[in-house]
Amino acid sequence: MKIALCAAEVVPFVKTGGLADVAGTLPLALEKLGEEVVVFLPRYKNIKASKDAVKKLSDTVSSTTIGQNITVYFIENPRLYNREGIYGDKQGDYPDNLERFQFFCWKVPEVLKQLKIPADIVHCHDWQTGLIPAYLKFAHQADPFFKKIRSVMTIHNLAYQGVFPKAGFAKLRLDKKLFSHEGFEFYDKVNFLKGGIVYSDHVTTVSPQYAKEIKTQKFGCGLEGVLQHHKGDVTGILNGLDYDTWDPQTDPLLEHKFSFETIAQKYQNKRKLQEQSRLPLKDNVPLLGYVGRLVHQKGFDLLAEAVDELMKTDLQLVILGVGEEKYHQLLKKLVARYPQKIACHVEYNERMAHRVYAGSDLFLMPSWYEPCGLSQMISLRYGTIPVVHRTGGLADTIVPFDSSKPPGNGFLFEEYSVRDLVATVKTAVKVYHDKNTFQRLMDRGMKLRFSWDHSAKEYQKVFKRCLASG
């Protein structure tokens, strides 16, 4: 199969979140399985690519390569993409994002034809690519080049939909009939993601549990009805983890590298983290880590509400992340209230993130919802046991610890409440003090693998089904 993957961000070129990791790693895994893959993304100002390695193909297209033989096509338009941010700046989203991503979506089919790229599947990721399925079906319907191409839409986070004023539809170069309840219309506005869902041949999302959740009113963000009635249902495929990057034995960002056989070095990382966080150097007090955005989705409201109760237990808490200003202010107050127990690093620092994963004993993920989540996979790899809310990808990857059942790899709380969160942390702390049991948990976690090879095979199946049903 020839697969064209389209996304607004792709590692190693540009990244603001987990979408970039998937869009950069999945093509490599598919290539290993023998598939031909090309990648499309906008050429932003801050693209990390050597100028020598980028070939100019036309005024609007340049290219480079990744993997063995994967061509990455950059869609160029300095007026739209030559800016400091990808989606916005400190003032918020760019007001012309509709135009910016319409241009990207329009160019993808155009470049496929111009360069005679015989794609079987166009794999679209998130709302920024949501116009592509409609362009393939309607804007080019009379062109035999596009007749057999099928599109797959992958949703990474349903909360982000690309919703714009109704007047913007006139700029999309689509028949006005498509601005309807069955098409792009969403409460009298234009919804890119809705159009991508409706007009794609299949929809996937990033974990089996999240695929179920987004068809409910609780997590459907207004699109649950659309997803319930999509002709191909929704397939949940768990994201993988890049185990070459996340390896405590070779991690260049750690002073003390370790494996399960040299687990004593993990405790050197704990000491280093305590020092950097200006916390007391206590070996036998459990250290809980948190790495993530400081926003409601990540359960920060719940954590803030639970802190006073948690602090009654002998533990330390290190928080790393940036987010809403109200949470930044709240953290300052918490550190002032519990200077010996809580430390906050209000930044996103890659080196510090690796140190938190490596130096913590327990890893906290109280997310309200979590489409997939990579942090729980990373923490397991580093021998740090997750404490998570049972939702989305967390429910698919973390098996609750039970002393009578060996497969457990972490601690889950069912009800999204302070009571359940605190009770689960207390259980985890109790197990932490049972050194033999905790060592077994660490060993199990470090040996687990959520591989991209497996995920890529699941995508292969979806692509083949799409082609077979065409």
- For the purposes of burial, counting CB atoms within 10 Å of the CB of 269, is it exposed (0-12), middle (13-18) or buried (19 or more)? buried
In the chain, the percentage of residues whose pLDDT exceeds 70 is: 99
Same domain, yes or no, for 38 and 184?
A: yes
Q: Are residues 108 and 204 in the same domain?
A: yes
Three-state secondary-structure class, residue 137: helix
Q: Do residues 181 and 306 share a domain? A: no
Going across the sheet that includes 121-125, the strands are 55-56, 61-66, 70-75, 36-42, 2-6, 121-125, 150-155, 202-205, 234-236
Name the nearest CA neighbour of 44 among 9, 92, 96, 17: 9
Rounded average pLDDT over 76-96: 93
- Does residue 245 fall inside a structural domain? no
Q: Which two tokens stand for residue 31?
A: 């290539």
Beta strand 189-191 pairing with 163-165? antiparallel
Instruction: With respect to residue 253, please indicate whether it lies within any of the assigned structural domains.
Output: no
Q: At 162, which CATH number?
A: 3.40.50.2000
* pLDDT per residue as tens digits for the range 281-333: 999 999 999 998 888 999 999 999 999 999 999 999 999 998 888 999 999 99
Claim to verify: residue 35 and residue 174 sit in the same structural domain? yes
Q: In this structure, are 439 and 465 located in the same domain?
A: no
Within-domain flag for 216: yes
**CB within 8 Å of 60: residues ≥ 6 apart:** 75, 76, 77, 107
pLDDT cut 90: percent of the chain above it: 87
Judge if 235 and 280 occupy the same domain.
no
pLDDT at 245: 87
Q: Are residues 119 and 196 in the same domain?
A: yes
Q: pLDDT tens digits, residue range 132-160?
A: 999 999 988 889 999 999 999 999 999 99
Tokens of 58: 């036309």
Range of the domain at 15: 2-240+452-469
329 lies in the same domain as 414: yes
The verdict on residue 57 lying in a domain is yes
pLDDT of residue 377 exceeding 80: yes
Same domain for 462 and 436: no
Per the domain annotation, does 249 fall within a domain?
no
- 233 plus 280 within the same structural domain: no
The model's pTM? 0.93
Amino acid at 34: G
Quickly state the pLDDT bin for 404 (edges 50, 70, 90).
Answer: confident
Residue 135 lies in a domain: yes
At 237, the amino acid letter reads I
Task: Please provide the average confidence, as pLDDT, over all residues in the chain.
Answer: 95
Structure token pair of residue 442:
């660490």
Query: Which single residue is written with the structure tokens 């099928």?
Result: 150
Dihedral of alpha carbons 367, 223, 94, 22, sign: positive
Exposure string of 136-173, with b = 16+ CB inside 10 Å and e = fewer, is: bbbbbeeeeebeebbbbbbbbbbebbbbbeeebbeebe
Whether residues 295 and 215 fall in one domain: no
The answer to the question of residue 250 being in a domain is: no
Q: Does residue 67 form part of some domain?
A: yes
Main-chain dihedrals φ then ψ at residue 56, nearest 5 degrees = -85, 120
Are residues 170 and 37 both part of a single domain? yes
User: Could you give the number of structural domains in the chain?
Assistant: 2
